Amino acid sequence: MKEGTEIQLPAWSPRVSKSKIARLFTSLGKGIVDEELIDEVGFALLARSESVLAATEAGEGRGARCPGCDSLVAFTTWRDEDLECGRCGWRCPKHAYRKTMKYKHLFAGGMKPFLEEFVREFPRARTHSDRFIMIDTLIHRYHWQYVGKPSRPGACCLIEGKLKDIMPFLDALSYGDNLPEDVQATREEWRKVWRDSRWNRSRS
């Protein structure tokens, strides 16, 4: 790549703000189905989930997503050479691409199946009540929960803030008296897992 050439780097979707999520749960707790807010939070989580999955794909050496046409650019190592898209001609030094992922909480880990499920199913949801349940379920997942070995809370890669802030935030979300049974069950299971989690015990 010629010196001085502008490089198009991937733009990863940010973690979702606590304030938006809090407003959503407060409105639902009052019996108000704010469809616009449900979609705002849900599609922000969708974009974030897609970014985490794409960055994980690259980080594990399975290919980098081209920011120009979204093609998968295959590579075998992170040696200092250019990534090049055979479809649109995009090029980028590997070190520059990799640097965009650092310190961004973009590794899926044991959240991968839940993120993939959310990306696949959220746009298909028929009602906003279904979308809310999907949102609630996703942010209360734990890494490796799908194999029966829950560990680090998955919300750390989805919601802004540190672990010490996110867990009390989730626990304090306002549900009110209009809580669907599915959401109630999710919340109780989430609390039970967190009480027994080594991540919780290590901070007590």
- Look-up: residue for tokens 């960055």? 55
Q: Where are the domains of the chain?
A: 18-56+107-201
- Segment 41-54 shows an average pLDDT of 98
Higher-confidence position of 193 and 176: 193
CA 46 to chain centre: 7
Say whether pLDDT at 183 is over 90: no
Q: Which whole-number Å values give the CA distances from 29 to 25, 59, 185, 188, in the listed order?
A: 6, 39, 16, 16
pLDDT higher than threshold 90 for residue 164: no
| Dist CA 54 CA 64 (whole Å) | 7
- Residue 201, pLDDT > 70, answer no
Q: Which residues have C-beta within 8 Å of that of residue 70, sequence separation ≥ 6?
A: none
- Could you tell me the pLDDT band of residue 204, with boundaries at 50, 70 and 90? very low
Amino acid letter for position 45: L
- Mean pLDDT, rounded, of the chain: 89
> Per-residue pLDDT tens for 97-139?
999 999 999 999 999 999 999 999 999 999 999 999 999 999 9
Which residues does 25 contact at the CB level (< 8 Å), separation at least 6? Answer: 173, 174, 175
